[in-house]
Amino acid sequence: MDNEQVSDRIGQQLIRLGRIRERTNAQVSAASHGEVDMSAYRIIFRLLLDGPMRSGTLAEAMYSDASTISRQVAGLVKRGFIRREADPTDGRASVLVVTPDGEEMATHLRARRNEMLTHVLGDWDDNDRHLFADLLDRFVDDYEAARQFLLDVGSESRTLRTDTQTPG
């Protein structure tokens, strides 16, 4: 298998995984009658990892649009999973902080996620699980580091399409 074929194989599996995750998350949300919005809960995990931060900083850290983060934060505040506090460096601004209820919910979700991963990887030996974790860490780090290149390539593709379109 040459490099192009390997890249195609990886790309196809990433698309497949993304679709499976999107569908599963949608089904979990539907089964909970909208109580569980997995995309919003990523906010809680980010805040637990990085600590309190402003909404704009959170949007940047999550590679998301500020309006999307604002909507998701509003829902999490309403449910009591995060709260706004005065920013210690600038009292006019606020930072987002995970509440004890948010921490409890995150602990529950983390346990469910780890249980699922244990099930998925149940037939893998320890060496394969550790190798996969190491390679996935490396892949995600490299993908994140290449983000600007990926954005530039996407921008070039739009320019090429626009330049090659004929007036109708």
Read off the pLDDT of residues 119-155 as tens digits, 9 standing for 90 and up: 999 999 999 999 999 999 999 999 999 988 888 876 6
SS3 string, 44-85, reads HHHHHHHCCECHHHHHHHCCCCHHHHHHHHHHHHHCCCEEEE
Cα(84)–Cα(69) distance, integer angstroms: 14
Does the pLDDT value for residue 163 go beyond 70?
no
- DSSP-based three-state secondary structure for 121: coil
Cα(58)–Cα(65) distance, integer angstroms: 10
CATH 1.10.10.10 corresponds to the domain 37-99: yes
Cα(98)–Cα(77) distance, integer angstroms: 9
Res 33: pLDDT: 65
Whole-model pTM above 0.85? no
Does the pLDDT value for residue 36 go beyond 90?
no
Q: Which residue has the higher pLDDT, 70 or 167?
A: 70
Query: Cβ neighbours of residue 47 under 8 Å, at least 6 residues apart?
Result: 53, 58, 82, 96, 97, 98, 102
Does the pLDDT value for residue 29 go beyond 70?
yes
Cα(69)–Cα(58) distance, integer angstroms: 8
pLDDT in tens, 50-99: 999 999 999 999 999 999 999 999 999 999 999 999 999 888 899 999 99
63: left (phi over 0), alpha (psi -120 to 50) or beta: left
Q: Are 81 and 130 in contact (CB under 8 A)?
A: no
Sequence-distant contacts of 74-81: CB under 8 A, at least 24 apart: 75/37, 75/40, 76/40, 76/43, 76/44, 76/102, 81/44, 81/105
Task: Determine the average pLDDT of the residues in 12-18.
Answer: 95
